[in-house]
Structure 1
Amino acid sequence: MAVAAANGGTGIRPATPAPWSARLSWAFFDWANQPYFTVITTFIFAPYFTSKVIGNPVDGQSLWGFVQAFSAVIVALGAPFLGAIADAGGRRKPWLFGFQLLLAFGCALLWLAQPGQLQLLPLVILGLVLANIAAEYSIMFNNALLPGLETPQRVGWLSGFGWGMGYLGGLIALFAVLVVSQPELVGIRPPPGEALLGLQRSSFEAERIIGPAAALWLAVFVLPMFLFTPDRPGSGRPFADVARAGFRRVIDTLRHVRQYGNLLRFLIAYMIYYDGLVAVIGFGGIYAAGIFGWGTTELGIFGIALNVIAIPAAIAGGWLDDRIGSKRAVQIAIVSVALGTLGILSITADSVLFGIEVAPRAAGAGAFSSAGEQVFFVCAILLGLGMGPMQAASRTLVARLSPPDMVGEFYGIYSLSGRATTFLAPLLIGIATAVFATQRVAAVIVLVFLAVGFVLLWKVVEPEHT
């Protein structure tokens, strides 16, 4: 067991970076995949699903939490084994290709999500589950390519740049959704009852087309990664042998897990604080739609603003990562997200900051005209400043802590730790929302996860990389 490498080595070995085309193409993976998270699971489709398809924001949020929890359990169970099998087989791209196809198929099924068509709801939920699982496994294999593309001194920058590219892709996708669904905002007047492209408003086709459009976006923009980013050479061994070797390696790693104590401490901390981040990203738009009655326009503008903030924050976070270390960059990001979440918790439709009464949004008033909406926006700025650096620096820290020959396996365990209890926050939110009949409970649960993860991270020792 490479104990020294696991606890003191960087897990990153290139003396020179890969060609710029390889690194840029790797970053395009985030560009291609981020619209799924931005447009579908956060700002547009998730609130549409909970408020319109299900018809009741509380019941919808509860069901959404259960769907996310189930998907997370499947990801958690399979990630370490798939990562170890990929390590044994060498190549990552075949796995990436398969899961990207599955992600596109799951997105396409979301076209069936129409209010009043509950007989199609099982297929919609199937699409969500397949897409959730495929997206997370795809990220795991793409992350495993990172250590071979950049030097230790610059790997944080590349990780942050990738997240920045992702947020930029999400921003453009959000803007496109907004223009298609509400073309009046840019001075286009379609026929009555229609959005752009002839989409019918009465059957919410502008919201439903988001799934197939995300699948098409993915198919186009993930191609550079497959064409120009180098993969590890294959082992040439039969798949059955590779699978057995991967399973044995995971079991052996788990048996000797205490020898990887530093990395284990980080993964436990990550497991907790990432739960909080996923929950606040996943339920922020749902919460705003519930308390302010936001529709596609408001949610789209909100998402665009959040991504505008997140793009430079993620890139700057990568720069900060390389200078002060991944651990400190993560800690700063957790504080920012926690402050934003606390602010959101303080807001209701007619009060802010835990009790200061404000006028609710007046009927027919413009978007973001009420004080509560404006304070919510300020809190979202804090979320945007923290969420990109938190994810980018966490990804880098795994690369710094992992043994070079076990990168795929430990990124699998990283996915496991990110998903082992990620079902817990949505599950607790789903249960608590149903029990207390209030959406505010989501923010309380998020804060607890962020605080515990922050405390646990203190004991992680980051190796020098200069």
Structure 2
Amino acid sequence: MTTPDHQASATAPPPDSTTPIRPASWRARISWAMFDWANQPYFTVITTFIFAPYFTAKVIGNPVDGQSLWGFTQAFSAAIVALGAPFLGAIADAGGQRKPWLFVFQLQLAFGCALLWLAQPGQPQLLPLVILGLVLANIAAEYSIMFNNALLPALETPRHVGRLSGIGWGMGYVGGLIALFTVLIVSQPELIGITPPPGEALLGLKRDAFEAERVIGPAAAIWLGIFVLPMFLFTPDRPGSGRPFRDVVRDGIGRVINTIRHMRRYRNLLRFLISYMIYYDGLVAVIGFGGIYAAGIFGWGTTELGLFGIALNVIAIPAVILGGWLEDRWGSKRAVQLAILLVAFGTLGIASIGPGSVLFFIEVAPRAAGAGLFSSPGEQVFFLCAALLGLGMGTMQAASRTLVARLSPPDMVGEFFGIFALSGRATTFLAPLLIGITTAVFATQRIATIVILVFLAAGFVLLWKVEEPARP
């Protein structure tokens, strides 16, 4: 059933619409999905499992202070993204092409990653450059995702767009999995029976200078440069308008202002964007702070965090592909609701774990010094809870992307993906900021999970009133 406020997206598209009657070629679609493969290691290895815990525990030297600083850094980046996303998306709509914008921001992402090599403990004079690299990379990664998302509706029919979105996220998780495995082998070659010279990892990287952790940034930049090429070569872009850039910018800014003034015309989409704004805050926070929390509670290092990330990605890959299939059968809204519940239960379980307890009240033996990997009951329960995160987090993101494609008017896809990025970032700084503040005030990392649960619950409740349009 079609509601009045999304009739524009449910009726036949105008002649210049980007909605295809038939899907693009398989090479174009797979090349588009390769973008996720190319970009995901940044999120998996840098902002989640390896570099973030290394930064907080080793570079800063104190998990509590490090988590607080990381939260402030993420919050600042998110605020910049929120301010610019709708305008950049609308400008791209007015100019037609998305790939030139993608090229610029992918270069910025690579440069920001390269700066992370400077993150060495005991070198406080380099810390501003490291933080600059994090901020540049965070901003560029989010803007890149926005423009890549805007290419999606032109590649697949509306009925099967969820499947392509899920394949993209699934390929991203595979890329992240390979990157994590590579980091583990380079930093801990003993795991596969290779014994490097004393004090070294593979490739001659010095352990006492943490070069195996620091090289992650430049390596991610090289990975990005190689694997993003198919998207630029084979995925079609909209034709350019041929108008002067100044006119395109003026038109784009005017579009955003006009859309905001008349947002009541898109009430259903607005309801979803508000809901997404809140539950995505919680998702970003649990992804960004999960590894940091584990490192602080259990003292995990690169090996444990890498294996944990690999396990999480192994779970997420089939889950997100199955989620895309479920979207096309049951609808994107239901897929998002299921994913929120999975992430919320997983987060609640993590919140219940302390160094010597699980499920809040059950006392267990803490991890013993020199014990085997994941040998303590707390670590094992943490793994079970994290499995729920793996089942839900990819589907939540992929289904949300699909829902925007289905709700947006065909000739305003870029603008609404920009507003989608805005809604995902308008308050995304709030969860890391609250985590940073509450962690500093209460001097405990566990408070972060309580903040995350509040955001997930509020977003889930608001999503009930969103009406998904009937699919052809």
TM value normalised by structure 1: 0.99
Q: Please, which of 50, 54, 59 is the counterpart of residue 53 of structure 1?
A: 59
Deviation at 1:367, TM superposition (A): 1.1
- Determine the structure 2 residue equivalent to 1:350: 356
C-alpha displacement at 1:197, in angstroms? 0.2
Deviation at 1:16, TM superposition (A): 0.6
- Within the candidate set 217, 227, 232, 1:221 is matched to 227
Distance 2:442 2:9 in 1: 45
Match of 1:381 in 2: 387
Aligned-pair CA distance for 1:212: 0.1
Q: Tell me the residue number matched to 1:24.
A: 30
Is the 2:68–2:435 contact (alpha carbons within 8 Å) kept by the matching residues of 1? yes
- Amino acid in the other structure paired with 1:358: V
**What residue is the counterpart of 2:73 in the other structure?**
67
User: 5 Å matches for 1:402-421?
Assistant: 402-421=408-427
Q: Which runs of 4+ in 1 moved over 6 A?
A: 7-12
What are the residue-to-residue correspondences of 1:251-330 with 2, within 5 Å? 251-330=257-336
Q: Report the CA distance between 1:153 and its aligned residue.
A: 1.3
The answer for the alignment partner of 1:142 in structure 2 is: 148
Output the amino acid matched with 1:316.
L
1:12 touches 1:399 (CA, 8 Å); kept in 2?
Answer: no
Partner Cα distance (1:223, 1:461) in 2: 37
Determine the C-alpha separation between the residues in 2 that align with 1:325 and 1:363: 49
Give the Cα separation in 1 of the matches to 2:341 and 2:7: 32
Contact 2:36 2:172 in 1 (8 A): yes
Hey, what does 2:438 align to over in structure 1?
432
Instruction: Kindly state the Cα deviation for residue 161 of structure 1 after the two structures are TM-superposed.
Output: 0.4
Other structure's SS at 1:145 match: helix
How far apart, in 2, do the equivalents of 1:365 and 1:15 lie? 59
Residues in 1 aligned to 2:12 and 2:63: alpha-carbon distance in whole angstroms: 48
User: Matched residues, percent identical?
Assistant: 82
**RMSD of aligned C-alpha atoms?**
1.3
How far residue 251 of structure 1 moved from its aligned partner, in angstroms, is 0.2
Contact 1:9 1:400 in 2 (8 A): no
Displacement of 1:268 after TM fit?
Answer: 0.1
Q: Look up the SS of the partner of 2:387 in the other structure.
A: helix
2: CA distance, partners of 1:165 / 1:158? 11
The CA deviation at 1:304 is 0.2
Q: Using the alignment, how far apart are the partners of 1:161 and 1:419 within structure 2?
A: 24
CA distance in 2, matches of 1:402, 1:182: 47
Cα pair 1:81 1:246 within 8 Å, conserved: yes
Q: Report the Cα offset of residue 453 of structure 1.
A: 0.2
8 Å CA contact 2:5–2:267 kept in 1: the answer is no
The reply on whether 1:13 has 2:16 as its aligned counterpart is no
Structure 2: segments with no counterpart, 5+ residues: none
Pairwise CA distance, 1:13: 2.4
Once residues 184 and 270 of structure 1 are traced to their aligned partners in structure 2, the CA distance between those partners, rounded to angstroms, is: 43
Q: What amino acid is aligned across from residue 376 of structure 1 in structure 2?
A: F
**Contact 1:266-1:460 at 8 Å conserved across structures:** yes
Give the distance between the partners of 2:9 and 2:85, measured in 1 at CA. Answer: 19
Q: Of 133, 142, 148, which aligns to 2:139? A: 133
How far does the alpha carbon of each residue in 1:333-359 deviate from its partner, in whole angstroms, 9 at most, with x for none? 000000000000000011000110000
Are 2:160 and 1:154 equivalent residues in the alignment? yes
Matched AA of 1:96: L
* Structure 2 counterpart SS, 1:336: helix
